[in-house]
Amino acid sequence: MSTTLPVPVAVPVAAPAPPPADGRARTYLVRTLGCQMNVHDSEHMAGMLEQAGYVPAAPADAAAEDVDVLVINTCAVRENAADKLYGNLGRLAGTKRSRPGGMQIAVGGCLAQKDRAGIVERAPWVDVVFGTHNLDVLPALLERSRHNAQAQVEIAESLQVFPSTLPTRRESVYAGWVSISVGCNNTCTFCIVPHLRGKERDRRPGEILAEVEALVATGAIEVTLLGQNVNSYGVGFGDRHAFGKLLRAVGAVPGLERVRFTSPHPAAFTDDVIDAMASTPTVMPQLHMPLQSGSDRVLRAMRRSYRAERFLGILDRVRAAIPDAAITSDVIVGFPGETDEDFEDTLRVVEAARFCSAFTFQYSQRPGTPAADLPDQLPKAVVQERYERLVALQERISAEDNAAQVGRTVDVLVAQGEGRKDGATARISGRARDNRLVHLALPAGLDPADAPRPGDLVTVEVTRSAPHHLVADSALTPGGRFRVRRTRAGDAWQARTEGRDEHAHGGQGGGCGPVAGATPGGPVVLGLPGLGRPTG
């Protein structure tokens, strides 16, 4: 096993993966654990592999994990993420032994950055471990491990290549992620992300706009801007209003219809961002604003540099400017030292905030974070009881909020794979402008050729609701609202599924042409210029 700290600046172009003995192309599968940043990182990993000559596994082979290379992109935010990784690796040991012709297993992402060589020590059948700062080395490490018949562990201490300069195999042709920054400058005591992702590094606005324009050129009509603290964008070049300016600029890209962003930090959230959201028609009326706790005392212990009153004030100003905004949040229960009074404060703020939904978490003690060493770690039973009360409150609020949507007309961007029961209910699914999940019925007798495709927009009326979704069966009523707008995003999705995609790109230089070995219907691979390390 070799452990090295790489120092490359340019994006390396890996040698083509040698084919197996039977002459076929090597197949791969990327499994993702964690947040949207990890999902987007997985797109980069897939792009690097396809540039090196690997091909995505067929759906049946992917489901059976019958692949030549399996990459697990890990999360380290919560304790169960580590349990999930090592549970998966234990199961894969038998899969690897039983697979004729062999199999390589690679582990990347936040837990790889944290555990490093410890992953191979616990699971010696792992072939490659790489971190959050050097995604670009994956193909080279796979080849080195194969050649040397030895595990390769390579963890960089700081960002080597900005991920957005890497080839990217987009999972969606109609919507895409765009990173505007990486890393985090905050010091929240419960969070290990700054240790694993490093200090914030902002991309230059021109690079971001170029990537958005390239996405639109391939058919996308929606983009989501990503950052650990997306609204602190501009810290690298000293402009505290940079994020609002960026929202306006991205929202003005011709052909782009929906702009989203995640996740902002309340401490850096300015009225200029609210104005940009309200005045830019393509910026969607949706905001994910992490609360974490409603207790000022706990917020101080968390090193969250805002207080409950400021947080609620932000929501009031957003709703005054954007009355239909759907606001979601994150809330942690059971932080060390949290008292009954602190928890009651959280319940009061959640009630006042009226989140349409919230990700609720039980505090997870993560080694390496300041909170892990705090006194007064709470008993599991206490945390569980509080968690259940918080979930019950938020479920009620979500149900009430969604019930208020019944009778409204919504424009739904049809998605692929959003509705797990669509086959049984004869519905299709997608997201409204405010990002609510909508399951909608199709009119009886609709010609399949006229059916909405992923990427198309459908106007319907909400007929009923549940806490986590809306149902729009207006098409089943004679004269009920149902209108399809076929979009170029839908055209691009159809072209991809039919193997007619003319916008597949691969490689560092952004040259056009199909990716070597790409399968018809595979996601778009977008190659961007290799700009080296950002200067701003």
Q: How many angstroms separate the CA atoms of 159 and 276, rounded?
A: 31
Please provide residue 345's backbone torsions phi and psi, each rounded to the nearest 5 degrees.
Answer: -60, -40
Residue 92: C-alpha distances to residues 98, 103, 133, 215, 409 (Å)? 10, 10, 26, 35, 48
Tokens matching residue 220: 């996308």
Tokens matching residue 523: 């996601």
Give the residue from 492, 431, 496 showing the smallest Cα distance to 460: 431
Instruction: Report whether 356 belongs to an annotated binding site.
Output: no
- Interacting residues of 259 by C-beta distance below 8 A, sequence separation 6+: 222, 223, 224, 225, 247, 250, 251, 280, 282, 283, 284
DSSP letter, residue 474: G
- For 303-457, where are the alpha helices, taking DSSP H only? 308-321, 340-353, 380-403, 422-425
Q: How many angstroms separate the CA atoms of 266 and 289, rounded?
A: 7
Q: How many angstroms separate the CA atoms of 305 and 303, rounded?
A: 6
Instruction: Report whether 191 belongs to an annotated binding site.
Output: yes
Tokens matching residue 233: 């964008």
Strand partners, 461: 409
Instruction: Report whether 512 belongs to an annotated binding site.
Output: no
Is the distance from CB of 131 to CB of 141 less than 8 angstroms?
no
Is the distance from CB of 243 to CB of 277 less than 8 angstroms?
no
Q: How many angstroms separate the CA atoms of 165 and 252, rounded?
A: 23
Q: Which residues are annotated as a binding site for [4Fe-4S] cluster?
A: 35, 75, 110, 184, 188, 191
